[in-house]
């Protein structure tokens, strides 16, 4: 009626949502949508989750849908994979992906390979999720990035969100996918608020797995990152913009399958490439991106060698000053861009 009278109606505004709350929303909506979905892991139920990602879900859905497990990753990951083989949709939370090493046999040999080895007759619709990469002051056994490890393995899909929208849309897509998906989150992003659009607030909002997002348009150099380093790239791009250098920042979102088409199109436009990641340099995500660009048509458009910015090639130190120097910082990205552009 107001529209007929010519009055202007304002659309619902975007809101600020933390990554933690976005993940909680995604789990809540998918538990409500499909009774086959359930969550299991250490402290996910009565304690509301070690990082409060599952806050309120046990009280709402009960013991059969949100399940506390013993400290036995191989055991509860195996239970989850078995449940997925009979067409339930488990979400298996690791308190940190460093502890997923206890369950690596279940993730790779049971989840990733079963569909192929059964000639497609047995699907494994499971999500393995939890914090990945460096946190703060937790040293080597809690700070490793497994993007390259899991991205190496056929049979898995691997996603790595940055923003709240990434977290919600990718988790919902992962839960609905009929393949095993590894979702690598960042503990340091859980409490960070991001703007969430009206579209992302919908219960049917999903982000397609395998599609990168251009977070900032630019013309001089392509910056590619995933997870927390995307934010560092955005900060570096703002710094460089004041010096007349316009960076195109690409949020990879998905490690496997990799959206090489978006990366190639950007490199063709900017003629320069810098990759940024928190993981180790050897055989890393950046190494794969550089190889794919070199092997494809975009290589002919590069005006300089691609440059990688990575974590230091050491186990994560405990001391803060050493930790800071082991993780890519904004200044490292600025330096790499200037190196690539020879300025």
Handedness of CA 334, 234, 139, 142 (dihedral sign): negative
Question: If you ran DSSP here, which 8-state letter would residue 280 be given?
Answer: -
Q: Give the residue from 286, 280, 291, 287 showing the smallest Cα distance to 327.
A: 280
pLDDT digits (tens, 9 = 90+) for 56-66: 999 999 999 99
Give the Cα separation of 149 and 182 in Å (integer): 11
* pLDDT at residue 14 in the model: 86
- 142 an active-site residue? yes
Q: Give the residue from 296, 294, 313 showing the smallest Cα distance to 305.
A: 294
Domain ranges of the chain: 15-201, 213-341
The angle, 0 to 180 degrees and rounded to 10, between the axes of the packed helices 229-241 and 330-341 is 60
* pLDDT at residue 12 in the model: 60
Residues of the chain with pLDDT under 50: 1-9
List the structure tokens of 16: 């600020």
* pLDDT at residue 13 in the model: 78
- Are 181 and 158 in contact by the 8 Å Cβ rule? The answer is yes
List the structure tokens of 117: 């080895």
Find the catalytic residue in 42, 93, 142, 187.
142
Find the catalytic residue in 73, 215, 264, 323.
73
- Are 257 and 323 in contact by the 8 Å Cβ rule? The answer is no
The angle, 0 to 180 degrees and rounded to 10, between the axes of the packed helices 260-270 and 285-295 is 70
Architecture of the domain spanning 15-201: 3-Layer(aba) Sandwich (3.40)
Give the Cα separation of 116 and 125 in Å (integer): 14
- Are 224 and 276 in contact by the 8 Å Cβ rule? The answer is yes
As a CATH number, domain 213-341 is 3.40.50.920
* pLDDT at residue 10 in the model: 52
Question: If you ran DSSP here, which 8-state letter would residue 111 be given?
Answer: I
Measured in whole angstroms, how far is the alpha carbon of residue 81 from the centre of its chain?
21
Give the Cα separation of 41 and 259 in Å (integer): 31
Q: Give the residue from 174, 205, 34 showing the smallest Cα distance to 93.
A: 174
Q: Give the residue from 253, 267, 262, 333 showing the smallest Cα distance to 304.
A: 267
- 226 an active-site residue? no
* pLDDT at residue 2 in the model: 46
For the chain, the maximum distance between any two Cα atoms, rounded to a whole number of angstroms, is 67
- What's the predicted TM-score (pTM) here? 0.94
Q: 213-341: same fold as 15-201?
A: yes
Give the Cα separation of 110 and 90 in Å (integer): 14
Q: Give whole-number Cα distances, 75 to 69, 96, 103, 163, 232, in Å.
A: 9, 16, 8, 32, 37
Three-state DSSP class for 189?
helix
């Amino acid at each position: 009626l107001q529209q007929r009278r010519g009055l202007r109606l304002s659309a619902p505004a975007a809101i600020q949502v933390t990554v933690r709350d976005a993940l909680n929303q995604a789990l809540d909506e998918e538990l409500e949508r499909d009774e086959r979905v359930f969550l299991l892991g250490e402290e996910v139920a009565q304690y509301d989750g070690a990082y409060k990602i599952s806050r309120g879900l046990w009280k709402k859905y009960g013991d059969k849908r949100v399940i506390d497990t013993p400290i036995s990753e191989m055991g509860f990951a195996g239970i989850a994979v078995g449940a997925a083989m009979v067409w339930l949709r488990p979400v298996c939370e690791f308190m940190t992906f460093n502890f997923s090493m206890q369950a690596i046999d279940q993730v790779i040999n049971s989840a990733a390979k079963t569909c192929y080895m059964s000639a497609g007759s047995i699907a494994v619709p499971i999500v393995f999720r939890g914090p990945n990469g460096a946190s703060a002051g937790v040293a080597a056994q809690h700070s490793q990035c497994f993007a390259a490890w899991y991205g190496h393995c056929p049979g898995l899909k691997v996603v790595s969100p940055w923003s709240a929208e990434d977290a919600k849309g990718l988790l919902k897509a992962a839960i609905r996918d009929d393949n095993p998906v590894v979702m690598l989150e960042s503990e340091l992003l859980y409490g960070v608020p991001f703007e969430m659009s009206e579209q992302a607030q919908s219960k049917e909002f999903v982000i397609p797995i395998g599609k990168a997002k251009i977070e900032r348009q630019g013309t001089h150099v392509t910056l590619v990152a995933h997870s927390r380093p995307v934010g560092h790239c955005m900060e570096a791009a703002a710094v460089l913009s004041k010096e007349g250098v316009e960076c195109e920042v690409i949020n990879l979102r998905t490690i496997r399958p990799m959206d090489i088409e978006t990366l190639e199109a950007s490199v063709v436009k900017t003629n320069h490439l810098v990759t940024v990641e928190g993981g180790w340099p050897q055989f890393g995500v950046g190494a794969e991106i550089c190889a794919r660009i070199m092997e494809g048509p975009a290589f002919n458009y590069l005006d300089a060698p691609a440059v990688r910015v990575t974590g230091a090639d050491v186990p994560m130190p405990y001391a803060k000053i050493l930790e800071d120097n082991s993780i890519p910082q904004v200044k490292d990205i600025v330096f790499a861009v200037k190196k690539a552009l020879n300025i």
